[in-house]
Amino acid sequence: AVCSMGNSTSRLYSVLAKTLSSGAVSQHQDCLEQLDSAQLDPLDPKDLLEECQIVLQKRPPRFQRNFVNLKKNTASNHRPIRVMQWNILAQALGEGKDNFVQCPMEALKWEERKCLILEEILAYKPDILCLQEVDHYFDTFEPLLSRLGYQCTFFPKPWSPCLDVERNNGPDGCAMFFLKERFELINSANIRLTAMKLKTNQVAIAQTLKCHETGRLFCIAVTHLKARTGWERFRSAQGCDLLQNLKNITQGAKIPLIVCGDFNAEPTEEVYREFSNCSLNLNSAYKLLSPDGQSEPPYTTWKIRPSGECRHTLDYIWYSQHALNVNSALGLLTEEQIGPNRLPSFNYPSDHLSLVCDFSFNQDPDRLL
């Protein structure tokens, strides 16, 4: 295989961003391993966005979502830190296991769906991006986002269900990306979550970053807890394990913390209460969109499976409320925008909505401890 790169985004796509079948992976493996992101030319986000829009020209335009200003007249002496949380739907699961009965298979084609995902990321320009169900990390997200200036980390599930799907692209897992121009990596931990002292199939990534502009340290974590009804106690145990790890990493909340994830848990579940009441003094950012600031959104995922319609709130951005302020949050899609066939669709690439928040450091964090 020829691995010439050049500056052309079209050449980039022809080499790297096509969906690789399991047979093609080994054929391209040498090429993929040789592509050190430091050797690749920087990529202008406008060029990538333009190429995505060319691929998507036969699809309906992106939904309009607006940021809601949540700032309470608190002065900030630095640029906000934009964090994006998103379960992007693993390609192998979308095509092979999830049974979205109202979603045409044509809407799930990777060549176009990946462009919808990239378009969403490019539209919001996150400083930190936290993703779940990533099964095209090595051939799409790492090579592209590293060229956009992100440092990239991936931690796959030990036994990914993607591997049960014919012509899969490898295991899915959690991925984290942060802009190197804004942050320095101080410490990184890949965490395999335990439950009742047993190692599980769920994982997390926790990274301590230093903000170049302020010199402040903070920890950012991404996770994806066990799915399905009947596993509530299991999720609770996983949440306790993650919190214990994060207490150690943040030195008992001395370092501010942001936790992004698909928790597969409604706010009524025990794992949600554990995060709400833990000693790390966490709050859920999207509660701030509600009139009283105390209620989660009515849904973050909405799909139709053979068993019926599923509308749930499962995705969260938790943050240290003593040390961080939420300046704004991206509003959710309305029921009208989502449409009667729900998600995913020709308009939207995942069954989960992306969550995006702008954070700033509290100028006097000790006052609220």
Residue 72 inside a domain? The answer is no
- What is the reported pLDDT for 73? 64
Tell whether the torsion through CA atoms of 180, 182, 184 and 188 is positive or negative: negative
Instruction: Give pLDDT, residue 365.
Output: 52
The owner of tokens 């608190």 is: 74
Residue 357 resides in a domain: yes
Number of structural domains found in the chain: 1
Report pLDDT for 7. 37
Structural domain includes residue 24: no
pLDDT of residue 86: 98
Structural domain includes residue 49: no
Question: pLDDT under 50 in the chain at which residues?
Answer: 1-34, 367-369
230: domain CATH number is 3.60.10.10
Q: Smallest Cα–Cα separation from 130: which of 343, 269, 2, 317? A: 317
Place of tokens 């200003």: 69
In a domain, 325, yes or no: yes
- The answer to whether residue 53 sits within a structural domain is no
Spatial contact of 287 and 295, defined as CB atoms under 8 Å apart: yes
pTM for this entry: 0.90
Q: Rounded to whole angstroms, how far apart are CA atoms 201 and 325?
A: 33
> What is the model's pLDDT at position 369?
42
Please check whether residue 5 lies inside any domain of the structure. Answer: no
In a domain, 140, yes or no: yes
Q: Which domain holds residue 343?
A: 79-361
